Amino acid sequence: MALTTYLEAIRQAMFEEMRRDPSVFLIGEDVGVYGGAFKVTAGILDEFGPERVIETPIAEAAIIGAACGAALMGMRPIAEMQFIDFISCGFDMLTNYAATSRYRQGLACPIVVRGPSGAGTRGGPFHSLNPEAFFMNTPGLKMVEPSTPYDAKGLMKAAIRDNDPVLFFEHKFLYRRLKEDLPETDYIVPIGKADVKRAGEDLSIITYGAMVHTALEAAQTLEEEDIHVEVLDLRSLLPYDKEAILATVKKTNKVILLHEATRTGGIAGELAAFITEEAFEYLDGPIVRVASIDTPTPYSPTLEDFFLPNAAKVAAAARKLAEY
């Protein structure tokens, strides 16, 4: 079996779901002839034609609004944001309309809004965003951010089949860097279920997306120092897997919360509050956050490297916590 990249896993999921269900269609900027800015949708127009692969103007609010309308009429649109940063242009449609549709009128709004997120590719402040905290406070939305090709394919299939709006964040740094053997049979990764990517007993790193690999790199370094780190990949950010979080906290008693998004107001704060409320008596040290510093993403490679979390920063935080 040929190895499959993270990018190709997402494309496979969309191909397979469009073949399985004629109500699934793509909508977005350059998703057809060009195949998407990162070629995630390459070849889909050739098979399904312009009625199911719909090119749009540069108008994210209109893309998401059209997707919502189609969903209410029984379709299952996949709306691409060329860069996830510009999801902010459709914020009103997502938070005031799509997320409240079931509550207001009992209607499902099965849309997937997907796109490349994250930094590390020298994209600067308009093309490097991690916007998950913007939506964490919005009941009715679901959010996922896979870290592996297997999870990317399974979560995309689950998102397309879900009857509520799902935000699907694809870390662009992972697109072509990861390869994995994928099952030939149909499978999904359930939304809301975390995954232990590495077992350990001294402390836990709870993270998601590209930072899973940063955590695993740090854990490998720490293993040589006899510090055994457990890495919990959330996979789903809303809803997040409370049972898995509590299980790893109770197992190791020390926690690092790691995300690439900037520190202040990031979802690590929500997770820290949850752990404090539900598992305070199991903690043997302070909950530690490792995140990007509170600035826009720099364009300069040197400054971007300084801005982002990395394995060395995570390992340093882990050593300090292990000694507590």
Please indicate, yes or no, whether residues 96 and 238 belong to a single structural domain of this protein. Answer: no
Question: Using omega within 30 degrees of 0 as the cis cutoff, is the peptide bond preceding 239 cis?
Answer: yes
Residue 201 domain-assigned? yes
Mean pLDDT, residues 304-319: 98
Res 120: pLDDT: 94
Domain total of the chain:
2
Pair (88, 214) in one structural domain: no
Q: At what angle do helices 267-279 and 242-252 cross, to 10 degrees?
A: 70
Side-chain half-sphere of 211: how many Cα atoms within 13 Å? 32
CA dist 204 and 321 (Å) reads 10
Q: Which parts of the chain are beta strand (E)?
A: 4-5, 24-28, 53-55, 76-80, 112-117, 142-144, 166-171, 179-180, 195-198, 203-207, 229-233, 236-238, 255-262, 288-292
Task: Tell me if 188 is assigned to some domain.
Answer: no
Other beta carbons within 10 Å of 198: 17
pLDDT tens-digit readout, 92-132:
999 999 999 999 999 999 999 999 999 999 999 999 999 99
Report the run of H or E that residue 114 belongs to, with start and end: strand 112-117
- Identify the pLDDT of residue 17: 98
User: Is pLDDT above 80 for 245?
Assistant: yes
pLDDT at 1 exceeding the cut of 80: no
Kindly state whether residues 96 and 228 are assigned to the same domain. Answer: no
Q: Tell me if 291 sits within 8 A of 266, measured CB to CB.
A: yes
Inside any domain, residue 168: yes
Q: Is residue 186 part of a domain?
A: no
The pair of structure tokens assigned to 143 is: 């959010």
Tokens representing 147 are 């870290």
Kindly state whether residue 187 falls inside one of the protein's structural domains: no
Read off the amino acid at residue 86: F
Residues 108 and 253 in one domain: no
In a domain, 268, yes or no: yes
State pLDDT tens for residues 205-216: 999 999 999 999
For residue 213, indicate whether it is catalytic.
no
Q: Is residue 76 part of a domain?
A: yes
Closest by Cα among 129, 322, 83, 104 to 219: 322
pLDDT value for 2: 80
What three-state secondary structure class fits 161?
helix
pLDDT on residue 249: 98
**Any idea what the CATH number is for the domain that residue 288 is in?**
3.40.50.920
What percent of the chain clears pLDDT 90, i.e. is strictly above it?
A: 99
Dump the DSSP string for 156-175: HHHHHH-SS-EEEEEEGGGT
- Predicted local confidence at residue 200, as pLDDT: 98
Q: In terms of domains, do 151 and 58 share one?
A: yes
pLDDT 10s digits, 46-84: 999 999 999 999 999 999 999 999 999 999 999 999 999
Do 312 and 264 lie in one domain? The reply is: yes
pLDDT at 258: 98
Domain range for 239 is 195-322
Task: Verify that 222 and 78 share a domain, yes or no.
Answer: no
Quick check: 319 pLDDT over 80?
yes
Can you tell me the distance from the alpha carbon of 24 to that of 83, in angstroms, rounded to the nearest whole number? Answer: 21
As a dihedral over the C-alpha atoms of residue 100, residue 104, residue 110, residue 114, rounded to 10 degrees, the angle is -10
36 within some domain: yes
Catalytic residue of the set 127, 171, 213, 259 = 127
Same domain assignment for residues 203 and 166 = no
Q: Does 240 lie in the same domain as 102?
A: no
Give the Cα separation of 252 and 228 in Å (integer). 9
- Is the domain of 13 the same as that of 53? yes
* DSSP letter assigned to residue 139: T
Q: How far apart are CA 263 and CA 211, in angstroms?
A: 14
Q: Would you call 78 exposed, middle or buried from its count of C-beta atoms within 10 A (0-12, 13-18, 19+)?
A: buried
Indicate if 219 and 174 belong to the same structural domain. Answer: no
Mean pLDDT of the chain: 97
Question: What pLDDT is attached to residue 238?
Answer: 98
How far apart (Å, rounded) are the C-alpha atoms in residues 320 and 312?
A: 12
Residue 254 vs residues 220, 232, 298: alpha-carbon distances, Å: 18, 13, 32
CATH assignment at residue 80: 3.40.50.970
Query: Do 174 and 38 touch, CB atoms closer than 8 A?
Result: no
